[in-house]
Homo-oligomer: A and B are copies of this chain.
């Protein structure tokens, strides 16, 4: 695959070099450290969740995609393909029980052969599994029934053990827990149970593990969610301990939320642990990153970059993951578009001269503040992203290469038209 990519790159190199050269000299003239930026882009790695290689669906149905992977090994193979093409998908994030590895060592070796590491593991207590003794229908860690809570706690502990065997160092706990009807649940008891359950899971984690607590305002419960917002997640993380953090998923906010402010606040307090990328217009639409609100993504990256450069509260390195649902596009193409949008936003944010911005802010020169951000955003940074990929041995134009190489056609030939991935 590497060689094919190189040979395809060859044809695009001349134009790319001209574009990159022009941009690099423009940026250098403005005092920007181009090489540093390209290096930062090349080293940025985003985890792919194990279920993201198959077609997703909505409650109204699912339209399959040919050549979907049917087991963990095939999923890792697909992440490997995306990583080979983009150079920025060097991690996989497992969902348990959808993707329990048979032989951990073999799976680890397979991943390593693709230069892929295991990022945060994800537990699942929003669905019942066949033969489950008690049901999560009315919640898991928050449930009024002790038996249900214990089942969910034990499941989370097991997820940590599975992750440990693979080299993961963190668990993401997303809870669908809540209620759909006023009166159905006690807000206080739900929260108290959840806090106690999380503490028990936390206490059982190895000492070098972190816990990420995800929040979401609604869906699949439509009246109340126990962890409805960052404030609740932050409160729970503080109650659990130092290695518990909040996880931000871009789609998990009420209309018009200023997410970048939340990101800034959490990093300022050293409590931002993970980040799930996607995009949306209405709710948790789980669309391709950057396809609806690329400027918001850029503004968030501005805070992430600033927070990483001004890490006064010892915020840990973030666990980045793409959390989109590939209902209409080829999942691998969708992921490559997402990765591209992430790097574009990151590159734009890196172009901001933070000192100049601070100076304008101190003077309340609002016009200039806006000019500074928009100048960065309007710059065509694609040559920087392409150069980063080129230097990593990945494809200058990943989707174009993917199509030229006929990867999907080969997968269909091998796996068939109608397989379905494990997962939702």
Residues of A within 8 A of B (CB): 15, 19, 22, 26, 29, 56-61, 63, 126-128, 135, 137-138, 144, 176, 179-189, 191-192, 217-220, 222-225, 228-232, 234-235, 254-258, 260-261, 264-265, 267-269, 280-283, 285, 287-288, 290-295, 299, 303, 306, 310, 327-330, 333-334, 337, 341, 344, 357-358, 360-362, 364, 366-367, 369-374, 377-382, 399, 424
- A53: min CB distance to chain B, Å: 16
Chain B residues within an 8 Å CB radius of A219: 58, 60, 282
Tell whether, in the assembled complex, residue B218 and residue A361 are in contact, meaning their CB atoms are under 8 Å apart: no
Closest-by-CB residue of B relative to A397 is: B371
Closest-by-CB residue of B relative to A192 is: B268
CA distance A326 to B127 in the complex (A): 17
A235-B234, A379-B380, A399-B367 are contacts. A60–B256 as well, Cβ < 8 Å? no
A183-B369, A294-B295, A361-B184 are contacts. A224–B378 as well, Cβ < 8 Å? no
Chain B residues within an 8 Å CB radius of A294: 295, 374, 377
For the complex of A and B, 6 pairs with smallest distance between CB atoms: A231-B231, A187-B264, A222-B285, A380-B380, A183-B369, A58-B220
- A20: min CB distance to chain B, Å: 12
- A315: min CB distance to chain B, Å: 12
Tell whether, in the assembled complex, residue B256 and residue A367 are in contact, meaning their CB atoms are under 8 Å apart: no
Tell whether, in the assembled complex, residue A370 and residue B181 are in contact, meaning their CB atoms are under 8 Å apart: yes
CA distance A256 to B181 in the complex (A): 14
- A346: min CB distance to chain B, Å: 14
29 A-B contacts (beta carbon < 8 Å)? A58-B219, A60-B176, A60-B219, A61-B127, A138-B366, A181-B287, A183-B369, A184-B361, A188-B264, A191-B268, A217-B256, A218-B256, A223-B258, A223-B281, A224-B260, A224-B261, A231-B231, A234-B235, A235-B269, A254-B255, A255-B256, A256-B281, A283-B283, A290-B374, A293-B295, A295-B295, A329-B367, A378-B380, A380-B380
A181-B288, A187-B303 are contacts. A255–B258 as well, Cβ < 8 Å? no
- A204: min CB distance to chain B, Å: 25
CA distance A190 to B79 in the complex (A): 35
Tell whether, in the assembled complex, residue A364 and residue B138 are in contact, meaning their CB atoms are under 8 Å apart: yes
Tell whether, in the assembled complex, residue B265 and residue A187 are in contact, meaning their CB atoms are under 8 Å apart: yes
Tell whether, in the assembled complex, residue A224 and residue B258 are in contact, meaning their CB atoms are under 8 Å apart: yes
Chain B residues within an 8 Å CB radius of A295: 182, 292-295
